Amino acid sequence: MIVILTALRFEATPFIKHYSLKRDSSYKRNELYRNNDNSILLLVTRSGKLPSAISLTEFLTTYKLTPYDHLINVGICGTSATDNIGSVYLCNRILDHDTAKYYYPDMLYSHNFSEAGIETFSVPVNESMTTKESLVDMESSALFVAGSTFLSPHQMHFLKIPSDMLEPDKVSKNDVNTLILDSVPIVTEWIDHLVSLSNAETSAYGFPTSLFPEEQKLFDTISESLRLSVTMKEQLLQLFIYHKLIHGDLSDIDFCPPIGNVTNQKRKILFEDLRQQFLQ
Amino acid sequence: MKTCDNNFYNKPFEYIYVEDDCAGYAATTEHILSHFPDATLIPIHHYKDVFNRKNQNATVQRNSRQLILAVCKETWIYPGAPVCQDFGNDNFYYASLMMNCIFDCEYCYLQGMYPSGHLVVFVNIEDCFASLDSLLKEHPVYLCISFDSDLMAFENVTGYIGKWIEYCTSHPDLTVEVRTKSANFGAISHLAAPPNLILAWTLTPDYVTHNFEHKVPGLDARISAACLAIQHGYKVRLCFDPILHFPDFKSVYSDFFKYVFDHISPHSIKDVSFGEFRVSCDYIKKMRKLRPASLVLQYPYDTSTGVATYDADLSKTLTDYIYQEISLYVPSDKIYIWKGDNTND
Ligand code: SF4
């Protein structure tokens, strides 16, 4: 699953159109959109460090992402260099202006964007302010910090389109719309690659180490009837996982709950018998 | 789009994170960087800002490993851990010049030890020699320099083993072991072998290499490298570690030892060691999470001693069998077994 994050609704519109995303009306606090097969979601986080971090945190507590899912923050930003305007940048480091702390998204995936560092401010940046990185915005560091609680640094990507030379008031909504629209082909091409990779890796590596309901029932029956200690339960779970890895399921495991009192010695013997069965 | 094998991952080391303090060690830093002229360099304040980030997924990172160049400001030399083989040496230490390895063995404890799959190279190797100078004033030292990495595999980039060879030559009270699975002996073959440096090749049967060791040279390549090192006068140790239990392990290991000692004369080696699979319980938890489909990691090991290893019966069966097989070729005083108490049998 790929989750596109934009600060503002108008930054989201071209992507909503491109992917034919539909509004999820059950998600109340922010605008959330999704496509038919749920491979692409889009969340409008609102702008600014705190609002965007809160929106993302709420989203990530609601949706449990796997290591093969990705967040992509797409949006306009300011720049200190004229040449940058209109290009799409993948940020390879993020400076939080307020704390002077740097954050580093993992740069594992190939791309055709330019690269730059970005500095995140709590207030709109203007010419009178000193910047250390060539790009500036008001969300990236906050999204990275909020996302890091739930996700790995290879799952968070920051694509920025510079729109102004630190003169945010001089940029019209129309200019911004054009910039975002122009970026759609290159951004969506990359997103499509990530979707394919995410799907392929989820099916290749997404081996479930949790138990299916039937397996959980067997686990509980064994644990209760043998009165297993916490350590033995851990061992049993490991036996379940190992056996499933080798045989695909647990259909050949044969367990009859013992009748009568299970002494410590009897429990040890029964558990060892079971262990041998699982290791076959 | 720059694609690598059409799999969308960047090639290894397309990004190199360089600590600001590396500027003080320009010669080594530039030497390493010269091997990656197309890499994007990202300046960082401290290597832990990248290496110790929260929630990294080393399994995914292994698809596109990046390099971090750093200056070690902490301890260089550590006392050997109980899970390591000390070969009967009292003053047994290890040094960490690199963290992580370019190879990818499923059973490797580094996955449990480090928060990242990326590699760190400390560029101030001269400071390591200075620490060792002080230690050598106190007593002789037996030092393993390639535990937390495979230095030989990265020798073309760092040249560090070459520097150790030079250091060994002028410090006879020091014995250095370089453990490796690499076939890269050519990188140091031009250097004269010092008597106090041991090249230790870890050899594993094809079954283990195919199933659990990724991007690692095969058995023949390792054997050829070890033979070449012997021809060049190097002391060579063979390490059969970890010994794993799997169906037909007896015939697999029996054929394996025959093959190895048909190609490497037992008289030409310094000694051999072997040890069954063992990893601290804290590490294995993390390793299992990172590799949920790994048979070698998901095996239900005995964890009652704080180390995940085979249960006592199986451990005895394995150890006895492997010892018996190796004894067919190697005299017993040259065989070291890791048994948890580090005794030499
Ligand atoms: S070669 Fe050694 S250090 Fe490298 S991954 Fe394999 S076990 Fe780990």
Q: What is the pLDDT at residue A171?
A: 78
CB B132 within 8 A of CB B139: no
Residue B28 near residue B70 (C-beta atoms within 8 A) = no
Residue A85 has pLDDT above 90, yes or no: no
Give dist(CA A157, CA B148) in Å, integer. 31
Of chain A, the percentage scoring pLDDT greater than 70 comes to 98
| pLDDT over 60 at A112, yes or no | yes
Q: How many domains, chain B?
A: 1
In the prediction, which pLDDT does A167 show? 77
The tokens for B64 are 């596109």
**Residue B323's pLDDT band (cuts 50, 70, 90):** very high
In a domain, B328, yes or no: yes
Nearest-CA residue for atom 8 of ligand 1: B108
| pLDDT per position as a tens digit, B28-45 | 999 999 999 999 999 999
Segment among A265-274, B57-66, B84-93, B194-203 with least mean pLDDT: B84-93
Q: Are A275 and A238 in contact (CB under 8 A)?
A: no
Position with higher pLDDT, B97 vs B341 = B97
In chain B, % of residues over pLDDT 90: 88
With a cut of 70, say whether residue B263 has pLDDT above it: yes
Q: Which of B53, B249, B313 to mutate to test the interface with A (most CBs of A within 10 A)?
A: B53
Q: Which CATH number characterizes residue B237's domain?
A: 3.80.30.30
The pLDDT, as a whole number, for residue B339 is 67
Catalogue the long-range contacts made by A8-13 (C-beta closer than 8 Å, 24 or more residues apart): A8/A44, A8/A46, A8/A47, A8/A75, A9/A44, A10/A173, A10/A176, A10/A177, A10/A180, A11/A74, A11/A75, A11/A76, A11/A176, A11/A180, A12/A42, A12/A44, A13/A177, A13/A180
Give the residue ranges of DSSP H helices in chain B: 26-33, 48-51, 58-61, 110-113, 125-138, 155-158, 160-169, 206-212, 219-231, 249-263, 281-290, 295-298, 312-327
Q: Which of A70, A93, A102, A110 has the highest number of chain B CBs within 10 A, making it the mutation to test binding with B?
A: A110
Residues having CB within 6 Å of any atom of ligand 1: B 101, 103-105, 108, 110, 150, 181
In-domain check, residue B85: yes
Rounded Cα gap, residues A179 and A172, in angstroms: 11
**pLDDT-derived band at A208, boundaries 50, 70, 90:** low
Q: What is the pTM of this model?
A: 0.93
Task: Find the mean pLDDT for residues B319-341.
Answer: 90
Residue B292 is nearest to which of A115, A190, A209, comparing CB atoms? Answer: A209
Positive/negative CA dihedral, A143, A149, A150, A156: positive
**In which band, very low, low, confident or very high, does the pLDDT at B343 lie, cut at 50, 70 and 90?**
very low
pLDDT category at A90 given cuts 50, 70, 90 is: very high
Query: B44 contacts in A (CB within 8 Å)?
Result: 102, 104
Q: Inform me whether the pLDDT recorded for B1 exceeds 50.
A: yes
What confidence tens digit (pLDDT) does each residue in B154-185 have? 999 999 999 999 999 999 999 999 999 999 99
In a domain, B35, yes or no: no
Closest partner CB to B15 (pick from A67, A107, A278): A107
User: Predicted confidence band at A86 (pLDDT cuts at 50, 70, 90)?
Assistant: confident
Asked whether the beta carbons of residue A67 and residue B293 sit closer than 8 angstroms, the reply is no
Q: Is B175 exposed, middle or buried (0-12, 13-18, 19+ CB in 10 A)?
A: buried
Give residue A240's Cα distance to chain centre.
29
Tell me the nearest-neighbour CA distance from B125 into chain A, angstroms: 26
Mean pLDDT computed over every residue of chain B: 93
Residue % of chain B over a pLDDT of 70:
94
Whole-angstrom distance, CA of residue A233 vs CA of residue A240? 10
> Which of the pair, B80 or B191, is modelled with greater confidence?
B191
| Residue-level pLDDT at B87 | 67
pLDDT given at position B344: 31
> Would the pLDDT of A169 be above 90?
no
Q: Which residue range(s) make up the domain with B278?
A: 76-95+126-338
Q: Is the pLDDT of residue A219 over 50?
A: yes
Mean pLDDT of A166-191: 87
Tell me the residues of A at the B interface, defined by beta carbons under 8 Å apart.
Answer: 67-68, 92-93, 102-104, 106-112, 115, 148-154, 189-190, 193-194, 196-197, 201, 205, 207-209, 235, 238-239, 241-242, 245-246, 275, 278-279
Range with top average pLDDT, A37-41, A258-262, B68-72? B68-72
Choice among A20-34, A197-211, B202-216 with the minimum mean pLDDT: A197-211
The Cβ of residue B87 has, within 10 Å, a number of other Cβ atoms equal to: 20
- Sequence-ordered list of residues with C-beta below 8 angstroms from that of A136, at least 6 positions apart, any chain: A77, A78, A79, A80, A118, A119, A120, A121, A125, A166
DSSP conformation class of B14: S
Per-domain residue ranges of chain A: 2-198, 213-279
Q: Is residue B285 part of a domain?
A: yes
What count of other Cβ atoms lies within 10 Å of the Cβ of residue B318?
A: 21
Would you say the C-alpha torsion B263, B265, B270, B275 has a positive or negative sign? positive
B3 touches chain A (CB under 8 A): yes
Average pLDDT (A104-119) is 96
CB count in 10 Å sphere of residue A32 = 22
CB B142 within 8 A of CB B336: no
Provide ipTM, 2 decimals: 0.92
Tell me which of A95-99, B65-69, B106-110, B341-345 is least confident. Answer: B341-345
Structure confidence by residue, pLDDT tens digits, B80-129: 866 566 667 778 999 999 999 999 999 999 999 999 999 999 999 999 99
CB B52 within 8 A of CB B116: yes
In a domain, B27, yes or no: no
Give the count of beta carbons closer than 10 Å to the beta carbon of residue B294: 19
CB-based contact B49 A104, cutoff 8 Å:
yes
Architecture of domain A2-198: 3-Layer(aba) Sandwich (3.40)
Nearest CA to ligand 1 atom 6: B105
Euclidean distance between CA atoms B278 and B243, whole angstroms = 9
User: Among all chains, which residue has been given the structure tokens 């048994």?
Assistant: B339
- Kindly state whether residue B37 falls inside one of the protein's structural domains: no
